[in-house]
Amino acid sequence: SPLHDLLTALPKCEHHVHLEGTLSPELLFELAAKNSIVLPPISGQASGDVGADAVDPAFASPEALYARYAQFTSLDDFLHYYYIGFRVLLTASDFEALTYAYLRRAATGLPGSRTGNVRHAEVFFDPQGHTPRGILPSTIITGFHAAAARAERDFGITAQLIPCLLRHLPVADGEATFDALAAAGHFASGALAGLGLCSTEIDRPPALYAPVFTRAAALGIDRTAHAGEEGPPGYVSAAVAELGVRRVDHGVRAAEDEDVMRGLSEAGVLLTVCPLSNVALKGVTRIGEVPVRVFLDRGVKFSLNSDDPAYFGGYIQENYCAVEEAFGLSVDEWRIIARNAVEGSWCGEERKAVIL
């Protein structure tokens, strides 16, 4: 595409990427070997054991895992594999390696390509997915910030870390997780840049998390929440009204309701849209069905992001290029998308001015 050079050159910000979603099958197998983690059995020998994993031939090799990832049927089908991947992440240096590899790829693209050009990344992680194995948030925070400091020196990219509460777990568990992070001073110190909400969406309306998001607001903590990925348009407006978020992760189902889109546009809410993710998890059948055109026409702000790039076949550059191939946007429209992504970031006005 003639716009390829422009898409590469645009200074980008990423707001919707899960650190654990950057774990490639190759690194998963490498860390499993290093940390002596047994992945789910690939033949029947373990069946019948209490708590044993179901037999799954996808764990035969990285290639078999990639092939399974290409056939996700839904968000929950993906999340099953995503949470198994967590088990290989044990030490601060594991999280440092994961973070550094992602930031390098976001900033510089594939080896030798000098694409990507992500200047600032806000990265989610799921504390509740690690604490049951005895991995503390402070371990993850330490590894993340060690990598972020190195990546800033090496590539000029800045990075922030955002914990997400997990909706498939009891609400009280999420509340206790937030309270412990706040009590430890991680938000006040800036080690954590805000609060997020993710995982299974169906039958988990935003209002369940209104009390904990209200506590976060009272502490001056920035907030965002996944909504309208699989859930109905009303969940997107509920996230804004009841959780007080100025950003909504995904939010694509808002396009089914003109009133919801008008509310988003009037309030200036930013949707962090993830096109390749929506295709991979069968929210849409192709990129052209992601409501990019509708949002541009209705004045709904959005950024383009990778979500779980190791699982969905592309980083931010591939998401930008897929949207260009499907929609053929104008240069001005691309500048608006990239500018809204910078302006919707939580990196502070000084850093934004440098990026723009």
- Least distance between Zn ion and beta carbon 17 (Å): 8
Place of tokens 């650190």: 19
Angstrom distance (rounded) from CA 337 to CA 226? 20
Q: Is 297 annotated as a binding residue?
A: no
Q: Is 168 annotated as a binding residue?
A: no
- Least distance between Zn ion and beta carbon 102 (Å): 14
The DSSP bridge partners found for residue 161 are 123
Using Cβ positions, the residue closest to Zn ion within the complex turns out to be 307
Q: Between 75 and 147, whose beta carbon lies closer to ligand ADE?
A: 75
Angstrom distance (rounded) from CA 334 to CA 198? 28
Residue 119 interacting partner from ligand ADE, Zn ion, none (CB closer than 5 to 8 Å by kind): none
Residue 229 interacting partner from ligand ADE, Zn ion, none (CB closer than 5 to 8 Å by kind): ligand ADE
Q: Is 308 annotated as a binding residue?
A: yes
N-to-C CA span, the chain = 24
Q: Is 80 annotated as a binding residue?
A: no
Angstrom distance (rounded) from CA 71 to CA 77? 9
Which strands make up the sheet holding 270-273, listed edge to edge?
A: 224-227, 247-250, 270-273, 301-304
Q: Between 195 and 355, whose beta carbon lies closer to ligand ADE?
A: 195
Q: Between 280 and 347, whose beta carbon lies closer to Zn ion?
A: 280
Q: Give the interface with ligand ADE as residue ranges (CB under 6 A).
A: 18, 21, 75, 82, 198-199, 226, 229, 277, 307-308
How many residues in the shown chain lie near Zn ion by CB under 5 A? 1
Q: Which of 297, 347, 295, 327 is nearest to 161 (CA)?
A: 347
- Least distance between ligand ADE and beta carbon 207 (Å): 18
* Three-state secondary structure call for residue 7: helix
Angstrom distance (rounded) from CA 173 to CA 187? 19
- Least distance between Zn ion and beta carbon 84 (Å): 17
Q: Between 18 and 105, whose beta carbon lies closer to ligand ADE?
A: 18
Phi/psi of residue 330, nearest 5 degrees: -85, 165
CA angle in degrees (0–180, nearest 5) for 232-335-152: 90
Angstrom distance (rounded) from CA 82 to CA 168? 14
Residue 21 interacting partner from Zn ion, ligand ADE, none (CB closer than 5 to 8 Å by kind): ligand ADE
Among 307, 314, 334, 337, binds Zn ion (CB under 5 A): 307
CA dihedral of residues 172, 177, 182, 188 (deg, nearest 10): -130
> Could you tell me where the beta strands, DSSP code E, fall in 241-345?
247-250, 270-273, 301-304
Residue from 14, 201, 229, 242 carrying the catalytic annotation: 229
Q: Which stretch binds Zn ion (CB under 5 A): 93-101, 189-197, 302-310, 318-326?
A: 302-310
Q: Is 94 annotated as a binding residue?
A: no
In this structure, what token pair is assigned to residue 280?
A: 């991979």
Q: Between 115 and 128, whose beta carbon lies closer to ligand ADE?
A: 128
Question: In 109-257, where does DSSP find H-type helix?
Answer: 137-155, 171-183, 210-218, 233-243
Residue 115 interacting partner from ligand ADE, Zn ion, none (CB closer than 5 to 8 Å by kind): none
Angle between helices 210-218 and 233-243 (to 10 degrees): 40
Residue 75 interacting partner from Zn ion, ligand ADE, none (CB closer than 5 to 8 Å by kind): ligand ADE
- Least distance between ligand ADE and beta carbon 328 (Å): 26
258 among known catalytic residues: no
- Least distance between ligand ADE and beta carbon 48 (Å): 31
Which residues contact Zn ion (rule: CB under 5 A)? 307
Please enumerate, by residue number, every residue annotated as part of a binding site for substrate.
308
Task: Give the residue numbers annotated as catalytic, written as ranges.
Answer: 229
Please enumerate, by residue number, every residue annotated as part of a binding site for Zn(2+).
16, 18, 226, 307
